[in-house]
Structure 1
Amino acid sequence: MKLLKEFKEFAVKGNMMDMAIGIIIGAAFNKVIDVLVKKVFMPPLSLMTDGLEFQDKKYVLREAVVNVSGEETTKEVAIEYGVLFETFLDFLIVGVTVFIVVKAMNRLRDKAQDPKNKVVKTPKDIELLAKLNDLMEEQNALLKKQ
């Protein structure tokens, strides 16, 4: 029963919901990035390199062996560096995108937490802390005069 109660508290606090929402958005974001790399960035890059398909680029260590009937008896062994390049490009795009999103969110958060900014409504806790800080500064100024 205690385990069930702890799970209920965990779920109600929002941690589980926040995590689930983050995972769902992350999966959808991954699909967007995948399409962005494969359908938007790679075709012009392939065109600039005279039709070179990066995903097909590989260094063959051992050729595939095919018998007389056309069946592959030994599989090809290759280092597929083209796939590595595309995956690295995916990572780079995700990193830059996340950086831009976090930077924008931090800018919005800073505006919301600035008690002197009247354009954006400041949360109550920040507002109260700002008033408390102003009172303490006023009190310190009075004490220094004495």
Structure 2
Amino acid sequence: MSIMKEFREFAVKGNMIDLAVGVIIGGAFGKIVDSLVKDVIMPIITMITGGGVDFTQKFIILGKNPNNLQTLAELQKAGVNVLTYGNFLTILINFIILAWVVFLMVKVINKMRRKEEAAPAKPAPTPEDIQLLREIRDELKARKDA
């Protein structure tokens, strides 16, 4: 078997395609969650914490600030060592929401699978000829025992 034929067989198998689809959908889903956190949840949290809080602008200056710069963009542009914990908090909230949504999705999928497994399939009705043969067998057994 040639290496190209083996590779084609490997790439076309269901698991490889499923993985590719999962990665593509996961990337798009990640963008949706990023937008949810940035555009919906963080403004609500900012409002709850007093209205003037923007987590992405929360930082601690770790180095010297000779020009007394105040914004994160200015500090980073000047090369001042800055600990941007606000950005980390935003990403952490993003992760928690993403993990929660994935958990709920898996829970729903597992529930649907359990329903499918729990519903026993109705046995197919016994064909007439088989039923007749069973009756004949039972009658012959009854005559033999008598």
State whether TM-score is above 0.5.
yes
Tell me, what secondary structure is at the counterpart of 1:62? coil
Separation in 1, partners of 2:64, 2:30: 34
Question: Counterparts in 2 of 1:76-115, with a 5 A limit?
Answer: 76-115=80-119
Partner of 1:126: none
Secondary structure in 1 matching 2:82: strand
Alignment match, 2:30: 30
**Normalised TM-score (structure 2):** 0.70
Across the aligned residues of Structure 1 and Structure 2, the Cα RMSD in angstroms comes to 2.3
Which structure carries more relative contact order (alpha carbon 8 Å, separation 6+)? 2
Task: Tell me the alpha carbon deviations over residues 55-77 of structure 1, each in whole angstroms, 9 at most, x when there is no partner.
Answer: 000010124445xxxxx995211
TM-score (norm 1): 0.70
Matched-pair contact (CA < 8 Å) for 1:63–1:75: no
**What is the match of residue 61 of structure 2?**
60
Give the equivalent residue in structure 1 for 2:5: 5
Runs of 5+ unmatched residues, structure 2: 68-74, 123-146
Distance 2:81 2:113 in 1: 52
Which structure features the higher share of strand residues? 1
1:49 and 2:53 matched: no
Gaps of 5+ in 1: 67-71, 119-146
Identity %: 40
Q: Between Structure 1 and Structure 2, how many residues are aligned?
A: 114
Whole-angstrom CA distance in 2 between matches of 1:82 and 1:117 = 55
Which structure has the larger Rg over C-alpha atoms? Answer: 2
Structure 1 moving runs of 4+ over 3 Å: 63-66
